Structure 1
Amino acid sequence: IFCNSYTIRTIFPAPNFNPIMDAQMLGGALQGFYCDKDMLINILTQRCNAQRLMIAEAYQSMYGLIGDLKEQLSDHFKDVMGVGTDENCLIEILASRTNGELFQMREAYCLQYSNNLQEDIYSETSGHFRDTLMNLVQGTREEGYADPAMAAQDAMVLWEACQQKTGEHKTMLQMILCNKSYQQLWLVFQEFQNISGQDMVDAINECYDGYFQELLVAIVLCVRDKPAYFAYRLYSAIHDFGFHNKTVIRIIIARSEIDLLTIRKRYKERYGKSLFHDIRNFASGHYEKALLAICAGDAEDY
């Protein structure tokens, strides 16, 4: 199902945008005796990412934005405003990004850290988990292609991989999940159910363990319903890990211009309470206010 992006995102480009004026207002908020955090929220959470980058460039020439943010803000609020080897983070990001997003990520990583992302992943991980990450980060997944006849063959390979669990079978399993198009994998998962009588996620959970298992499950969940996967990640970060701030921040900011409105809807459908409700229960102060401002979109889930 393909949706107009303007029905599922929560952050839009601000109209009548003036980066110099925004930079000057931020300067007033940060350079005064007191830090005006409400002003920061009003500006930075209501600009799209491209506009925030333009503001940063304008501010940098006048004041030095990142240094001011680091000096003035607390840790969690600083993270929301955009400053500052987690296997779960690697799983979430690499399992969910498109080919184009992965290309941009590799480029940005090189510019930011003067290192090669693939080389760093290779040096910091191991085994079939590493192999699968290395496959995903290449961003070479087929797009817009589905072959019903091949789906039955792929499903048989996956079923054998879950039965045999040899190194060769693990390699074949990850090659299918990392390289076949989402459309093709939809058919493969249906065929797998027909062949094995078992759901793909249940089969992976039963046959494998560790980060390799978690990564394979994340890929399957993203193929089926990516907003639902992110809703699950948010719920786990809020409820299972004592409010894992960086996960909540990362997902809300990263998806705000893509599908955050749909993620909110999936969250409420699956867990009975709105994302707003849970953020209010577990966050506080300007940190809470900034997260809620980015989530807003419309107000129906408040």
Structure 2
Amino acid sequence: MLNHTHRAPTNRRRRLRDPEYVQTACSLLATASPVSKSMAATGAGEGNKAAAGSASLHSKTLLKSEPLYQYILESTVFPREPDCLRELRLATASHPMAAMAASPDEVQLFGLLLEMLGARNAIEVGVFTGYSLLATALALPDDGKIVAIDVTRESYDRIGSPVIEKAGVAHKIDFHVGLALPVLDQMVADEGNKGAFDFAFVDADKVNFLNYHERLLQLVRVGGLIAYDNTLWGGSVVATPDEPLAAATREFNAAIAADRRVRVCQLAIADGLTLCRRVA
């Protein structure tokens, strides 16, 4: 028993360095999560019958009361949701991996935070269909810019891009296809990028969150905000210690809590959202 306990962390770290393993683990967790699976994607009165028959429509909330979450969406989120954002949310709900998208209440929060920051330049690591990307673009001024990074733009081109073009904000988006770390390293190498960004949102591979954090602290200005998604990882950080990405998420949370370069707040919104305001 003692030997098994000693070996397990090494094996887990080895698996977490395997991109195929990590992607499979993410997919399994998204489809097997015990939390509510429909309302955030379609919303009450917006196709619940269709949602009930689709396992891909997944409410990324740790809030256990479905009626209460439905109330939040219906009373505050959906009434203020721009038509283009609603269109992309519903289109994203048809994707087999719809659980990867940010939740509607999370996206609404981003819009408010961006306006409070007076943000002009942003970074998004992990794009998927571009649902949260559209929300960011809508909140930026007409001359604002977003550096969007993803290993593929397939879902973005097929689902998000037509809606974003129609919304008239595509000119704000600078899309980079590739692994995020090399792209961020290239950005850091350009002195003109240092401290040039007001906001960053990270919704990508969890094992690299700390690596992203170090780069983003150089790119986001003092007073700017960095948001990290999935920092409670479906509750697995406490409920299932053997879940493959729970250990990496706990390590990230502990490191951020101890990082005096940022003021930090972790929220139980969506699948866990951590906000870091750069102070040094």
Structure 1 length-normalised TM: 0.32
Structure (1/2) with the larger strand percentage:
2
TM-score, with length taken from structure 2: 0.34
